[in-house]
């Protein structure tokens, strides 16, 4: 089961070109949805306006320091998800993120390649299981409104669309594969959940993963060039306390 390509077995019912076209369509939906999300929310305009304003009054940052900031952003903020202060949430996020990358890459390889190498189905299963561990752990035990505020884990909001569609897609995909594959009901549900996942980018948090690295880089650069302060506001002005700091993060 773990060494068999479920999409190769599916090709007996659905032509490979149809599966490949579907994957391409999902990529197009993600790209278009991300652009639409950025334009609609004004994220890119805010980012570049802020960058321009800070640059006009900033200290000069040399090339070596700029490279160091870029490396720190890539290693700490992107690869290690350093923005999460809560250790449990960071681990859950890393499991979900790297599992999702493994799962997607293995899916693309298995759909577009005729290779029967067992490594790709194994990576597909490993990635999927990582997503499920990280995702369900976050959903039932780490979410602020569940862990701290006592709400039911089944309380749904629009902000939950990404994680729920991701968990539904991966869960149904693994169950479908374990049940023997084929173009049955489980496969149909798997396709529906996957289409919702990649087609709902403008209304979910999916697009954040593409914009967050740029925002993290800008934040580090603004600290380096002196346009953003790590210090709280004056103690004799309580109303301004923390005015130069980031908004509190709820983990």
**pLDDT per residue as tens digits for the range 75-118:** 766 676 666 667 888 899 899 999 999 999 999 999 998 767 88
Residues 246, 94: Cα–Cα separation, whole Å: 23
Residues 176, 167: Cα–Cα separation, whole Å: 14
pTM (2 decimals)? 0.72
Quick one: pLDDT at residue 25? 97
Residues 17, 84: Cα–Cα separation, whole Å: 41
Interval 203-219 mean pLDDT: 68
Q: If you compute the radius of gyration of the chain from its CA atoms, what whole number of angstroms results?
A: 21
Q: State which fold the 6-46+86-220 domain adopts.
A: Fumarate Reductase Cytochrome B subunit (1.20.950)
Interval 128-136 mean pLDDT: 96
Kindly report each contact of residues 60-66 with a partner whose C-beta sits within 8 Å and lies 24 or more positions away, as own/partner: 60/225, 61/221, 61/224, 61/225, 65/224, 66/221
Q: Regarding predicted confidence, which is higher, 131 or 33?
A: 131
């Amino acid at each position: 089961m773990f060494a068999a390509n479920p999409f190769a077995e599916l090709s007996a019912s659905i032509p490979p070109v149809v599966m490949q076209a579907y994957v391409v369509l999902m990529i197009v939906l993600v790209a278009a949805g991300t652009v639409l999300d950025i334009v609609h929310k004004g994220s890119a305009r805010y980012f570049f306006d802020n960058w321009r304003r800070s640059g006009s009054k900033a200290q000069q940052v040399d090339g070596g320091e700029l490279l160091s900031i870029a490396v720190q952003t890539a290693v700490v903020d992107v690869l290690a998800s350093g923005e999460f202060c809560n250790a449990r949430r960071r681990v859950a996020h890393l499991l979900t993120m790297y599992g999702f990358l493994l799962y997607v890459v293995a899916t693309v390889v298995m759909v577009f390649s005729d290779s029967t190498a067992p490594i790709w189905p194994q990576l597909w299963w490993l990635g999927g299981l990582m997503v499920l561990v990280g995702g369900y752990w976050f959903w039932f035990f780490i979410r602020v409104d569940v862990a701290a505020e006592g709400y039911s884990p089944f309380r749904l909001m629009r902000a939950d669309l990404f994680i729920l569609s991701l968990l539904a897609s991966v869960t149904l995909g693994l169950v479908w594969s374990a049940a023997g594959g084929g173009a049955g009901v489980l496969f149909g549900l798997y396709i529906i959940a996957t289409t919702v996942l990649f087609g709902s980018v403008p209304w979910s948090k999916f697009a954040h993963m593409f914009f967050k690295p740029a925002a993290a880089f800008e934040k580090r650069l603004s600290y380096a060039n002196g346009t953003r302060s790590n210090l709280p506001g004056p103690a004799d002005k309580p109303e301004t306390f923390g005015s130069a700091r980031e908004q509190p993060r709820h983990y």
